[in-house]
Homo-oligomer: A and B are copies of this chain.
């Protein structure tokens, strides 16, 4: 329920003026937490995404394909990736909420935050253990220990910040019943760890119960959010609850910090885009001996054999880049990020994290020709889901457009039709490519590459295309209904824009 975070002006003042309150604050070791939060966002987004690497690094030869154990291993690794992404996102959301309460940091808080980050980096390992040895309770025990440790550190941060109230956000610092706030916040923070303590105890003698408790811990906020949203939709939008005690909740109406959602998303996009170059550099530099033996010393011929990999790399980078571009354009028009929008953003990012898998699939054409069709379809599906969830963020924002969107992007706004087309481009293109592979299965690779090359140009020409489409619609309407004045009112025209087909 706090407004959008605005740490920058203060930070800026501190950077610019030679003397004054900003510097005085720094002198006491008290700092605005802006940079620490960016660093935490970067760390968490990388931890969330990096577990896709074990999935993509699995080399499956055609004869292994039917091997049960290899399939199991692949499924295991994908499960680890998805669970890691989910739990790290939950941890990130909790971290965001915590530092909406704690407005400033000093050295002790910075060190505590680092300890918290270190414990979070250990979570993927516990998942790997859990999924590899589902019948041994050690994995879940370690997971619970980690969650308890994270909860303890977060509780310590809260207690420390309330002990030095100038570290708190101004809203709480000025509040009359600060002690009540503290008890309420500690209660919510320690909910998860308490459940995990029970789960850790259960894991010693009856471990299935601990899996159940763990699932509760992970999904509790999501379930309560979804239920709240449904209730909200059915009962009509009720008044947001009073500020006094529910400042720190799992509540639906509490917006996420837009800046931190952007930073986390940027981290995921950046790591996905660059993980790909690593594979290129590690695998596609030919061995000098092999070049001599196989290609008569011709490096160009040797590189020619890995041509499909390069093509796939550029295609993937372009896709990641343009998905980032769409995300960037979308968030430029968003004023506030509600929790359902945050959840949709997480889902979109989980699929973006899967794009290296799409790269590996499409770059493997040469080796495993019979899997070509399958690979192209998997890639199309990943791109489709990554982009359709972006589109869903937009539609969810439109449901409460007065609160969440800039005026120009609302129904009837100047940018509305353009924004719509921008976000609809990738879902349409990937769906079209998928459909084409069903009809023209022999040309699936060509279709996929044409899509990857055509989409960037479509983005460049999009503004022009949308204007043309709008003008054509207007002209058409003028022809069919000559009784009305020809130049229809602008606002009404734009309001019809969502009905336009996207120009893909």
**B-binding residues in A (CB < 8 A):** 3-4, 6, 8-9, 11-12, 15-16, 18-19, 23-24, 26-27, 29, 31, 35-36, 38-39, 42-43, 46-47, 50-51, 53-54, 57, 80, 107-108, 110-111, 114, 117-118, 121-122, 124-125, 128-129, 132-133, 136, 138, 258, 262-263, 266-267, 269-271, 273-275, 277-278, 280-282, 284-286, 288, 291, 299-300, 303, 314, 317-318, 321-322, 324-325, 328-329, 331-333, 335, 406-408, 413-415, 456, 459-460, 463
Contacts and interface: CB of A to CB of B under 8 A. Distances in A.
Contacts of A24: 408
Which of A9, A15, A275 has most B Cβ within 10 Å? A15
Given A39-B266, A136-B299, A277-B125, A415 B27 contact: yes
Contacts of A128: 281, 285
Given A27-B413, A111-B456, 18 more contacts: A15-B258, A23-B407, A27-B414, A38-B263, A39-B266, A39-B324, A42-B42, A43-B270, A50-B274, A54-B282, A107-B459, A118-B321, A121-B273, A124-B277, A125-B281, A125-B285, A129-B299, A133-B299
A371 B6 CA distance: 52
B332 A26 contact: yes
Contacts of A274: 43, 46-47, 50, 121
Given A132-B285, A285-B129, A460-B111, A271 B27 contact: no
A304 to B, nearest CB: 12
Contact of A317 (B3, B121, B408): B121
B107 A284 contact: no
A204 to B, nearest CB: 13
Nearest to A3: B16
A306 B166 CA distance: 45
Given A122-B277, A277-B121, A23 B408 contact: yes
Given A136-B299, A299-B138, A318 B118 contact: yes
Contacts of A9: 8-9, 12
A contacts with B: majority SS: helix
Nearest to A54: B282
Contact of A111 (B8, B277, B459): B459
9 tightest Cβ-Cβ pairs between the two chains A and B: A8-B8, A27-B408, A42-B270, A114-B321, A46-B274, A128-B285, A121-B277, A39-B266, A43-B270
Nearest to A8: B8
A356 to B, nearest CB: 13
A118 B314 contact: yes
A465 to B, nearest CB: 13
Contacts of A38: 38, 263, 266
Contact of A12 (B6, B332, B406): B6
Nearest to A53: B278
